[in-house]
Amino acid sequence: MVGIKDIAKAAGVSISTVSYALNGSTKITEKTRQRIMAIADELNYVPNMAARTLKKQQTNIIGVYLADYAGSFYGELLDGIKRGLAAYDYEMIVCSGQKSHLFIPERMVDGAIILDWTFRTEEIERLANRGHQMVVLDREIDCETTHKVLLDNQGGATLVIGKMIDSGSQKIWLVTGSEGYDSDQRYQASVKELERFGIEYEVFHGDFTEPSGYQVAEQIMKQIPKVPIDIFAFNDEMAVGIYKYFENRPETIGKDIRIIGFDNIELGHYLSPRLATVSYSKHRWGMIAAEKMIQMIQGKETEDEVIYTSFIPGDSFA
C-alpha cells in the first residue's frame, strides 16, 4: 500500500509537506499542493483513515444505527440527519448489525444516533459510561453522555383511539409492530384509553412491514367479524398491506373496513381512499438528532427533546 513516504520520495519533498498538501493546509503554495496531489493520484494513494483517526482523535463521521432500512420511513429521517450534520461539516455512515457496533469503541465514528431495537440498552449504557457520545431515538435511557429525541408515540396513539371512540367504534383491532419502544408505547396508550372507555379490543402482532399487515387482515377475516371493522395499524406500511388484502374482496375500505395508520408516509397519500394517519416530521426528527449530537461533541449544553404528533384525517376512516 502506498504511503505518504512514497509520495514524498516521488515528489522530492519532505513528509510534512506531503501531509500539508493532503490536508489542505495553507502552509504550502497551491502549485506545490496540486503537484503533490497529482503524484498521489498517479500512485493510487488511499488515505489510511484509521491512522488519521488515531492522530486527530476525530473522524467527522457519525454512525446512524438502524434495525433495517425497509420502507419509505427511513428516507426522510436519514435525509434530515444528513442535512443536520452537513451544517457542521460532518457526514454519516448508516450501520446495521452487531459487528458495526465496534465502530464506536474503536472511534471510527465520533458519535452514534440509534434507532435500532436490537441494539441492547445495556451495551449503550456501557459505551456511554466510557465517554462515547450517543443520541437515542427509540428508548428511555439515563446516561450523562446520552441524550434522547423521542417521538410522542403515546400522544399519537391517544389521538387515534379518541377519533375511533368518537365515531362510535364498538370494537377495535390493534395491529402492533415489531418489539421495541415505538410499538410498546403505542400499545400501552391504546389499551389505556380503550379500557378507560370500556371499548372491546383484540390484538394482532405484525412487524411493521406490508406483508405482515396483509397476513393480519387475513387472520381478522377468518373470524368472520361483523362490519364495520375498525383497525388501528401501528404504522402505515402495515396499513398498506391491509389495503392490498381487501383489493379483491367485497368489503369496502372506509365503510366496511375502517383503518387508521401511523407515520404519514408518502405512499399513504396515494391510496384510495386516502389513509387516515398520525403525522410528524421525520425530517425534523433527524435534523434535531443531528443537532443534539454535534452539541454534545462540542461540549455544549443540550436537552432531551420530544417530536410531537398530529392527526391527519382520511376517507379510510370516514
pLDDT digits (tens, 9 = 90+) for 67-118: 877 666 788 999 999 999 999 999 999 998 889 999 998 888 999 999 998 8
Give residue 54's pLDDT: 47
Collapsing DSSP to helix, strand or coil, 216 comes out as helix
Q: What's the burial of 122, exposed, middle or buried (CB within 10 Å: 0-12/13-18/19+)? A: exposed
Q: Which CATH class is domain 58-151+282-310?
A: alpha beta
**Any idea which fold 4-47 has?**
434 Repressor (Amino-terminal Domain) (1.10.260)
253-281 confidence digits (pLDDT tens):
999 999 999 999 988 888 999 999 999 99
User: Where exactly are the structural domains of the chain?
Assistant: 4-47, 58-151+282-310, 153-279
CA angle 127, 183, 230 (to 5 degrees): 175
Architecture of the structural domain at 153-279: 3-Layer(aba) Sandwich (3.40)
pLDDT < 50 stretches in the chain: 54
The rounded distance, in Å, linking the Cα atoms of 130 and 167 is 52
Domains 58-151+282-310 and 153-279 share a fold: yes
Q: What's the burial of 54, exposed, middle or buried (CB within 10 Å: 0-12/13-18/19+)? A: exposed
Residue 77 near residue 41, CB atoms below 8 Å = no
Distance of CA 160 to the CA centre of its chain: 22
